[in-house]
Structure 1
Amino acid sequence: METFFSKQLQMLRKQSGITQEQLAAKLGVTAQAVSKWENGSYPDGDLLPKIADIFDVSIDNLYGRGEERCSFEQQVVNHMQAIADSSQDSCAEWLENYLNIIWAMQLTAWRECRYYYDLPDFKDSNGTIASECTCNTGVTYMRLNKDFRYFTFIEQPESFAKQFSDIDKLSELFRFLGDKMNLKVVMYLLSLDNGEVAGASTIATHLGYPKEKIEKALQYLLSINGSNKEIIEISVLCADNGKEKVYGVRNYLPEMLILLTGAFAVLNQPHGYSTNVNNRDYPFFDRKDMSFIKVGEKNEEK
């Protein structure tokens, strides 16, 4: 079982960029001994000053005591940074630790839960569970199954209704995505790698729709792109001195992926909840902020 000492020793070692074997050589012990310390056991007392000297910290610091003890937030930063620095291919380990930290925070929403337990194991199951906390200061939602795991955090703004008051643009976006061809265009763009581009004719061939309709869909996506330009349009010179426009994505369209993930959650309810905490005293939308939903003098489109 890991202890603060074991976690601290592991963090200090990784931050210093030395291996278990190198630390063992400095201390005159085996690498197996260092491995045991990092998994919950303790070294002999006469080794503690040597360990503290190697990492230039106090003995108290090794046990999380004294002025040198950093904040919990800094410990998280140190821990995650040590993982990121451990190798160039540490992304999977970093994300797994990130998920475990989020899971630990989700458990604390259930105040009766005093002990951490591991994420549910879905190796032999196709089940889906969710963990959510709804309170006056925001919402958290974590969804877990074997193939699809994600987490959402929304801090309470001054008014949710005001954030979504541009209902014309929202309805236009949902109408666009409500068209099957347009949705396929978005998914096709999500399949493009950074630096990879495709023309409307190529997308039309792959999807089986008229080029003109594909171009219209792409132009709409460009129009809502904003200043960050996640979707890019490039003009390519052709052999006949004409020009063809090709399209690509920057940063893999994370916003669209988030939107699709939210739709997936609505359509696929979890089988159960690991934690389901509702401490909210009022609805998300305050009707006094919702004048924008009233029908105006002109009839709305049906």
Structure 2
Amino acid sequence: MDEKNVFRKNLVKRRKELGLTQDMLAQKLNVSAQAVSKWENSSYPDSELLPMLAKALGTSIDSLFGSKNSDPETDILQLIHDRVQTVAPEKRSEFVMQMLYSIIYAYNPSFHQAGRMHSKYDKETYAGVKTDQDIALARLNSDLRYFIYLENPENGVNGYFTTPKNMARLLKTLADEDAIRIISYLGSGRRNKMHSVNVMSKRLDLPEEKVQSIIDRLDRLGIVWRVSVDLDEGETIMYGYTHNQALPMILTLAQSVCNYFSSWDPSYDVYSFGVFKDETGLIKNDLPDVHGWKDDE
């Protein structure tokens, strides 16, 4: 294969790997989509555009021309690995959040430089992505920052809901304010700390029967675990908290869902359908006819 064909093949391959259309790549380079089409079919870009093209594709000029067989994504992953390991543990969360914010920022093809999260926001601010392939949500305020990423399954996220009854039981449990108080209490303890219902009842000023009922539900849901303890006064059950990573995320997201997402920095929104898929076949997505101007109007 000659050099021109190698270049065109590598250009098309790398563009598609990044999920870029010809128009999106053209916007990054401030050229026309027709120019990109010509590069992929019959001509070379001007020499002064080659460095910009390589940068936009996250690769090298040598790789585009087939002179150097390298996988730039592997290099990027190694770079991230090495960088995270060199960051002090107390500063790692800030670095990771900045890195994840930059990922959301990079989704917009009109942004040509790395996004850098502000150190201060005057109001509650989010960054988000909604495409047909994935969704992401980040809260950016320094009092609580988080990043959630979900790859959109082909059959929709609802295909993963294999135990809807247990999901309903969890949500019903969390609908009780006292359950949230108990979870917050358990979650504030050190690892492997055991708790008795009697002590929790006294410290939270809740009826012992109520605490036992909620703890039993949390036990069946796998949020707490139990052991039998042999004491002088008899055998009793003690409960430990699993420190499940998903649960604080659920509660944190619940608080965010209760707010109106009014401030974005940034939001990239190009989806056609949501992450839930219609399993009933009842939803019709045909668009009604929209009439344009009539000749006599």
Tell me the TM-score range normalised by the shorter chain: 0.5 to 0.7
- RMSD, aligned CA: 2.4
Q: Map residues 57-76 of structure 1 onto 2, 5 A cutoff.
A: 71-76=75-80
> Which residue of 231, 235, 253 corresponds with 1:238?
231
Indicate the residue corresponding to 2:131 in structure 1.
Answer: 135
Q: For structure 2, list consecutive stretches of 5 or more residues without a partner in the other structure.
A: 1-67, 283-297
Distance in 2 between residues matched to 1:153 and 1:290, nearest whole Å: 28
Distance in 1 between residues matched to 2:173 and 2:281, nearest whole Å: 24
Distance in 1 between residues matched to 2:280 and 2:268, nearest whole Å: 26
> Which residue of 118, 121, 129 corresponds with 1:120?
118
Indicate the residue corresponding to 1:80 in structure 2.
Answer: 84
Give the drift of 1:273.
0.5
Indicate the residue corresponding to 2:159 in structure 1.
Answer: 162
Indicate the residue corresponding to 1:98 in structure 2.
Answer: 96
Distance in 1 between residues matched to 2:244 and 2:162, nearest whole Å: 24
Give the drift of 1:73.
0.8
> Which residue of 181, 186, 198 corresponds with 2:178?
181
Is it true that 1:146 corresponds to 2:142 in the alignment?
yes
Distance in 1 between residues matched to 2:176 and 2:95, nearest whole Å: 39
User: How many residues are paired up?
Assistant: 213
Indicate the residue corresponding to 1:258 in structure 2.
Answer: 249
Distance in 2 between residues matched to 1:204 and 1:217, nearest whole Å: 11
Cα 1:289–1:259 change in 2 (3 A) is farther
Secondary structure class of the residue paired with 2:180: helix
Secondary structure class of the residue paired with 2:125: strand
C-alpha contact 1:193 1:249 (8 A) present in aligned 2: no
Indicate the residue corresponding to 1:218 in structure 2.
Answer: 215
Indicate the residue corresponding to 2:239 in structure 1.
Answer: 247
Give the drift of 1:135.
0.7
Distance in 1 between residues matched to 2:176 and 2:274, nearest whole Å: 31
TM superposition score normalised by structure 1? 0.65
Indicate the residue corresponding to 2:51 in structure 1.
Answer: none
Give the letter for the 1:72 counterpart.
I
C-alpha contact 2:101 2:115 (8 A) present in aligned 1: no
Q: For structure 1, list consecutive stretches of 5 or more residues without a partner in the other structure.
A: 1-65, 84-89, 292-302
Between the two proteins, what is the percent identity of the paired residues?
A: 17
Give the drift of 1:117.
4.0
Distance in 2 between residues matched to 1:126 and 1:215, nearest whole Å: 43
Give the drift of 1:142.
0.9
Secondary structure class of the residue paired with 1:269: coil
Distance in 2 between residues matched to 1:92 and 1:221, nearest whole Å: 32
- Shift >3 Å, 4+ stretches: 66-70
Give the drift of 1:167.
3.0
Give the drift of 1:147.
0.3
Give the letter for the 1:75 counterpart.
L
Distance in 2 between residues matched to 1:214 and 1:190, nearest whole Å: 15
Distance in 2 between residues matched to 1:248 and 1:119, nearest whole Å: 38
TM superposition score normalised by structure 2? 0.66
C-alpha contact 2:129 2:269 (8 A) present in aligned 1: yes
Indicate the residue corresponding to 1:172 in structure 2.
Answer: 169
C-alpha contact 2:138 2:147 (8 A) present in aligned 1: yes
C-alpha contact 2:126 2:139 (8 A) present in aligned 1: yes
C-alpha contact 2:106 2:115 (8 A) present in aligned 1: no
Q: Deviations over 1:16-38 (max 9, x none)?
A: xxxxxxxxxxxxxxxxxxxxxxx
